[in-house]
Structure 1
Amino acid sequence: MPDWEKSTLFRAFRHRNFRLFYMGQIVSLSGLWMQRVAMNWLVYRITGSPLLLGTVDFMTQIPVLLFGSFTGAFLEGRNLRRIIMICQTISMLHALTLAFLTLSGMVEYWHILILAAIIGISDSFEVPARQGFTIRLVEDEKDLGNGIALTSTLFNVTRLVGPSIAGMVIAVVGEGICFLMNGMAYSATLTALFLMRFRKPLVTDQVRKSVLEGMKEGVRYVASFLPLRNYLGAIALVSFFAFPYMVLLPVFAREILGGGPRTLGFLMGATGLGALAGSVRLALRKSPVGLGKIMAVSCVLLGFSMAAFSLSRVFYLSLALMACLGFFMVSTLVSCNTLVQTLVDEDKRNRVMSLFIVCAMGITPIGSLNAGWLATHIGAPATLFAGGAVSLVIGLLLLRAWPSMWALSEPVYRRKNLL
């Protein structure tokens, strides 16, 4: 028996499909993070505007808010692997188009906006599909929490590696090569998806409800169950006020800390290092017991770290605070994801997870636009300080409500044999 099958940290690796997906994502996500750094730097280089920087992030993610609830109901009973493969192909073409425009010197701001909207629409289908697909990869719900945390670990390992490489590549040969490398990297995930084999059919014969009826049922289900309602509400508020910090990092890198693309890469790399540590910490947990309290405390400390970073003018102190910010950000997000995934009834999983995506990602673009607008009026440091303060208050409210939420969650976990 391989060592990882005995390990608490790598329990989800017992499942072949999860291993395939994980290996493919190592390559694809590294390219994605390179593109994110390159995209932000390109926009800020050609516009010099925090507001226009926030607008691109808004265009990338607003489709998740507009279509997220619809896609969750649409995905019920459909072949999620096929949908993810289609979306990955669109992402590949998006990156290659951006590479061509940048390398040829033809790229303009409006090109970036249109491409951002296209990839946003694709993501509004792919991200909810991935959430529902995860349970198919691990096959055993007892390993689901570990699988989510390991996926987050991978996400943050690549966030550590990708931006660091991107900073050097941009400095030497420009942003276009980052886009080209990302376009080529998507082939890894597409290959992994093609090689997967499933014991149970991916498409069921169940009667599909209308999309509108499915959406209403999902919303009613969440509204009627206090833990789900509170967790999703909290992550929506944090997504609006705290998560858009990343869109302002180019401003801090150049204006506050007096650096360039390498400084931006180091800041994002520090966030990834902290997020990696947070992911590993959660991957070692064997049970969802106590995750609600962890989410609440993480919200508080996320707010504190963000406020402290906004006040820092010392590069190495800023790096340390970004690592703390990454640690508590991923602890908040992964805890919420695992709580929702383990509490939801199986027949409502796609619809509820689409609501999670709307709250965790769909709200962020409005927050990014708001952050960009605020930064032009009160400055980037004050904007981040305010977002951190709000996150801290949300965490304190969650902590106060946790005992009553656990009392309602415990019977669900016992019924699912997760305790």
Structure 2
Amino acid sequence: MAPMFAPLRERNYRLWAAADLVSTAGTWMQVLGLNWLILSDTGSAATMGLVVMLQALPVLVLGTWGGALADRLPARPLLIASQAVRALLALALVAHGGHALIFAVALASGVISSFEGPALGRFGSALVPPSALGSALALGSVLSSAGRIGGMALGGVLVGITGPAVLFVINAVSYLAVIGALAAMRLSELRDLPVAAAGERGVLSGLRYIARQPIVLIVLALSFVLGSLGRNYQVSMASMVAGPLHGGSGAYGLLSTVFAVGAVLGGLLLAGTGKSTLRVLLGTGVTISLLQLGAGLAPNVTSFAALILPIAAGAVVFDTVVSTRIQLDTREEMRGRVLAAVGIVSSLSGMVGAPAVGWLCDTVGPRGALLLGGAITTVAAVAGAVAIARVQGRKVHLPHPENLHLPHLPHLPHLQHLPHSEPRLAAEQMA
């Protein structure tokens, strides 16, 4: 069986993947419905930003404790309980008790994510053998992207017909698919993961362990820099369309669709090759940073879309390889705490990056924001390669972009010098 389909040999993984597709679609339907509800009531994008912040803050505060618990407790019962509570929170939104209720639900969702995220990652690695973990994570990215596309498309149709309340009910029901899949799994087929010794089960033990892993620290630093200044394309795309590209809502919708398609292609590419190495990580980081520089120079919507496609594919490759290397290159009994660190970095990069990119767009313009961000992330990716090479005692040798086998793009004569290459259950989680 090809590397892409190797995880599908496992019955438990097949159950999990199918449930995740349904649940992710429900999640994005709720996101759309909630945004619609907030904007129709207040017309304030700042209120939407506050909701996002309330969801991210608990992960920063409680993530380390969530990771420690994930390394101590069995993941399956914890996940069943978290899915049930999420279903109740979705139903609570149906009542629409005002902003206080929405804020409370957002904060509660963030608290759940603090404990659920590390447990999901640890549980996911028990579904497949280590040799199939990279492909399983890549397939998970494909499913998440497909669920997002389907959920947003169906939600966009329903919200105008039924209103947002129905979307919240659908999301609540979608959690039942995950609970059912967890209940139907064969426990005998789950891979046993080691548990830390009694003296190594705390938060401080996890932090000390991470501090002694220089490559993990370098990868997390790269993830933060590229995640904050090399992502947040919802901000920069909107600014480019409204500004120098002179597009409308249709152009923004087109770019959003292209980005989603690129994400699916990136997941399929990585799942098919199974190459989740540090060389691919660093090569992809450099490549998408260079492509971001090209995006800042794109003269029209078509050329911008042609660059957004491999950038999105590369972003998924980069994030998935980060998650794979973090899991495979660390001790399994520390996995929950290491994954908690990944979640904290991801939340922090979103909280810092989105306002920073928005400020840059307002200050130096959308093109300047992309060029400055691309320059910083390029330097960071090269510096990361040098640092990892020194830790490993090797010479720096990034893979040629052609070896990444990323999707070919339409010919862009003015950008010939640029190489053509390039998460509710995010890329760092299973399926």
TM-score range, shorter chain: 0.7 to 0.9
Counterpart of 1:86 (choices 81, 92, 96) is 81
Match of residue 143 from structure 2: 154
Within a 5 Å distance, the mapping from 1:206-217 to structure 2 comes to 208-209=198-199, 214-217=202-205
Structure 1 pair 273/287, CA: closer, same or farther in 2 (3 Å)?
A: closer
Counterpart of 1:129 (choices 119, 127, 142) is 119
Which shifted more, 307-316 or 167-176? 307-316
AA partner of residue 78 (structure 2):
I
Match of residue 423 from structure 2: none
Root-mean-square deviation (CA, aligned residues, Å) is 3.2
Match of residue 342 from structure 1: 328
Match of residue 115 from structure 1: 105
Structure 1 pair 309/273, CA: closer, same or farther in 2 (3 Å)?
A: same
AA partner of residue 236 (structure 1):
F
Counterpart of 2:262 (choices 274, 279, 282) is 274
Match of residue 228 from structure 2: 240
CA distance in 1 between partners of 2:55 and 2:101 (Å) = 13
Q: How far off its partner does 1:193 sit? A: 0.7
Structure 1 pair 251/51, CA: closer, same or farther in 2 (3 Å)?
A: farther
- 8 Å contact 1:68–1:362 — kept in the other structure? no
Structure 1 pair 194/148, CA: closer, same or farther in 2 (3 Å)?
A: same
Q: Please state whether the residue corresponding to 2:384 is helix, strand or coil.
A: helix
Structure 1 pair 286/274, CA: closer, same or farther in 2 (3 Å)?
A: closer
CA distance in 1 between partners of 2:254 and 2:169 (Å) = 22
TM-score calculated relative to the size of structure 2: 0.79
CA distance in 1 between partners of 2:374 and 2:41 (Å) = 29
Which shifted more, 244-253 or 57-66? 244-253
Structure 1 pair 375/156, CA: closer, same or farther in 2 (3 Å)?
A: same
- 8 Å contact 2:71–2:195 — kept in the other structure? no
Counterpart of 1:69 (choices 64, 69, 74) is 64
Per-residue CA deviations over 1:396-416 (Å, capped at 9, x if unaligned) read 2223334345559xxxxxxxx
Match of residue 10 from structure 1: 5
1:397 aligns with 2:383: yes
AA partner of residue 223 (structure 1):
A
Structure 1 pair 345/393, CA: closer, same or farther in 2 (3 Å)?
A: same
Q: Please state whether the residue corresponding to 1:137 is helix, strand or coil.
A: coil
Q: Please state whether the residue corresponding to 2:234 is helix, strand or coil.
A: helix
Structure 1 pair 372/258, CA: closer, same or farther in 2 (3 Å)?
A: same
Q: Please state whether the residue corresponding to 1:365 is helix, strand or coil.
A: helix
Match of residue 426 from structure 2: none
CA distance in 2 between partners of 1:121 and 1:373 (Å) = 29
Within a 5 Å distance, the mapping from 1:20-419 to structure 2 comes to 20-101=15-96, 107-108=98-99, 110-138=100-128, 140-199=129-188, 208-209=198-199, 214-246=202-234, 259-260=248-249, 266-286=254-274, 288=276, 291-306=277-292, 314-371=300-357, 383=369, 386-405=372-391
Q: Please state whether the residue corresponding to 2:4 is helix, strand or coil.
A: coil
Q: How far off its partner does 1:389 sit? A: 3.8
Q: Please state whether the residue corresponding to 1:20 is helix, strand or coil.
A: helix
Which shifted more, 228-237 or 374-383? 374-383
Paired residues in the alignment total: 392
- 8 Å contact 1:92–1:184 — kept in the other structure? yes
- 8 Å contact 1:78–1:203 — kept in the other structure? no
Structure 1 pair 195/357, CA: closer, same or farther in 2 (3 Å)?
A: same
AA partner of residue 293 (structure 1):
R
- 8 Å contact 1:54–1:371 — kept in the other structure? no
- 8 Å contact 1:84–1:130 — kept in the other structure? yes
Q: How far off its partner does 1:132 sit? A: 0.5
CA distance in 2 between partners of 1:122 and 1:392 (Å) = 35
AA partner of residue 380 (structure 2):
I
TM-score calculated relative to the size of structure 1: 0.81
Structure 2, unpaired ranges of 5+:
395-431
Query: Once the two structures are aligned, what percentage of the paired residues are identical?
Result: 26
